[in-house]
């Protein structure tokens, strides 16, 4: 992917909001073609072998070094350390520098979502004591920050157990999110879209996380990454964007997996904005995040999610969604509520 292409995809800041996002994702077919042809995919069984590096000009193997740089490890390993945090309902990797997760993974099934054994009213936000104190996000960091404690794995996906639901309220599962118009609106509708995928797939895995993407400075035309930091002292980074990578599995051993990748700005988004306007190639998220999501998934098993189902939102009132989190059984969804796209 060229620098310009990635910058165009990445350059929607939280301040720019959904209007700028709409402009960037206009003419999607042309941009997706450009991304597809210029992106270096992760190595697969069909990829050519990596180039063999040229031999070094000097036979360093014959040299005896008078220094020992790795001797610093006797005082401790500097890092980075990615705190892997498994819970009943999530698995995540935590970024100590930003005090946000790199990614949080979940798994939903018809059985897990149809169970209703938990009540959100019994859950509270808590600091994750598995993260060293000096690196973890704290409750007071969010106090009067103007941002929601935004779930990466939503509480509604873990109602099969009160303990599982409670663990979604760990701050290691949170990032600062714009509340009105995003976390409580468009983002929540997007989470509901993911849940409705179980009407078509017996198993759905979702990886969610923050991004810190560049925007172009109108003064000098250069691209820079800039984001707010909240807390006292300021230490919790406010992501500019969020991503979701969706793996919708057909339930067969070695079967097909429908892949969907989306990037949304951390900003107010009009509920009328089409979800597919935020669809991007998975490689774009990998390059922006430094992560890999599907390197072990053969290309022949991959399907495009939005070619298998209609990628659209079902907008529901926020109060109604909260009722479903507080003990009310979720309404039954028929397959007709989520029809496949017209061919």
* 72: CB partners within 8 A, 6+ apart: 78
Question: Which among 203, 115, 126, 195 is positioned nearest to 154, based on CA atoms?
Answer: 195
* pLDDT score recorded for residue 5: 44
Confidence of residue 63 (pLDDT cuts 50, 70, 90): confident
Apex CA 282: angle with CA 41 and CA 241, to 5°? 135
What is the side-by-side strand order in the sheet with 241-249? Answer: 83-86, 91-95, 100-108, 203-211, 241-249, 257-265, 302-304
Q: What is the three-class DSSP state of 91?
A: strand
CA distances from 191 to 156, 194, 209, 246, 292 (A): 9, 5, 13, 11, 22
Q: Are 89 and 166 in contact (CB under 8 A)?
A: no
Chain segment 65-85, per-residue pLDDT in tens: 899 999 999 999 999 998 999
Q: For residue 335, is pLDDT > 80?
A: no
| pLDDT score of 316 | 78
> Is residue 303 within 8 Å of residue 259, measured between CB atoms?
yes
Query: Of 138-142, 206-210, 238-242, 322-326, where does mean pLDDT reach its minimum?
Result: 322-326
The residue-averaged pLDDT of 126-146 equals 97
pLDDT higher than 50, residue 22: no
186 vs 17, which has greater pLDDT? 186
How far is residue 265's CA from residue 285's CA, in Å, rounded to a whole number? Answer: 13
Structure tokens at 116: 């209703």
Q: Considering 107, 122, 151, 200, which one is annotated as catalytic?
A: 151
Structure confidence at residue 14 (pLDDT):
38
Mean predicted confidence (pLDDT) in 9-34:
43
The whole-number average pLDDT for the span 216-238 is 96
What would the pLDDT profile of 82-110 be if each residue is shown by its tens digit? Answer: 899 999 999 999 999 999 999 999 999 99
Res. 57 pLDDT band, cuts 50 70 90: low
Whether 140 is a known active-site residue: answer: no
Q: What is the pLDDT of residues 274-320, one digit of tens each?
A: 999 999 999 999 999 999 999 999 999 999 999 999 999 999 765 56
């Amino acid at each position: 992917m060229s620098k310009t292409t990635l910058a165009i995809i990445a350059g929607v800041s939280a301040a720019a909001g959904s209007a700028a996002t709409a402009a960037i994702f206009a003419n999607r077919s042309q941009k997706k073609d450009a991304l597809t042809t210029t992106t270096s995919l992760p190595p697969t069984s069909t990829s050519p072998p990596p180039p063999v590096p040229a031999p070094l000009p000097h036979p360093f193997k014959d040299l005896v070094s008078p220094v020992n740089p790795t001797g610093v490890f006797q005082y401790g390993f500097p890092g980075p350390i990615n705190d892997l945090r498994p819970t009943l309902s999530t698995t995540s990797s935590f970024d100590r520098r930003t005090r946000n997760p790199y990614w949080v993974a979940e798994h939903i099934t018809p059985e897990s979502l149809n169970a209703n054994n938990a009540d959100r009213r019994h859950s509270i936000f808590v600091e994750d004591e598995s993260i060293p104190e000096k690196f973890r996000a704290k409750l007071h960091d969010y106090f009067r920050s103007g941002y929601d404690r935004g779930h990466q794995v939503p509480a509604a996906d873990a109602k099969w157990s009160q303990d599982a639901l409670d663990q979604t309220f760990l701050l290691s599962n949170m990032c600062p999110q714009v509340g009105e118009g995003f976390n409580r609106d468009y983002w929540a509708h997007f989470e509901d879209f993911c849940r409705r995928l179980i009407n078509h797939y017996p198993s759905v895995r979702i990886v969610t996380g923050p991004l810190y993407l560049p925007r172009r400075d109108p003064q000098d035309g250069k691209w820079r990454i800039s984001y707010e930091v909240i807390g006292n002292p300021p230490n919790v980074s406010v992501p500019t964007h969020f991503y979701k990578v969706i793996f919708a599995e057909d339930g067969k051993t070695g079967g097909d997996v429908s892949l969907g990748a989306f990037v949304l700005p951390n900003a107010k988004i009009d509920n009328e904005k089409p979800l597919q306007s935020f669809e991007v190639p998975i490689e774009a998220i990998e390059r922006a995040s430094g992560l890999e999501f599907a390197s072990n998934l053969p290309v022949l098993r991959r399907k495009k999610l939005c070619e298998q189902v209609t990628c659209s939102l079902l907008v529901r009132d926020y109060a109604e969604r909260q009722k479903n989190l507080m003990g009310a059984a979720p309404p039954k969804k028929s397959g007709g509520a989520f029809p496949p796209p017209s061919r």
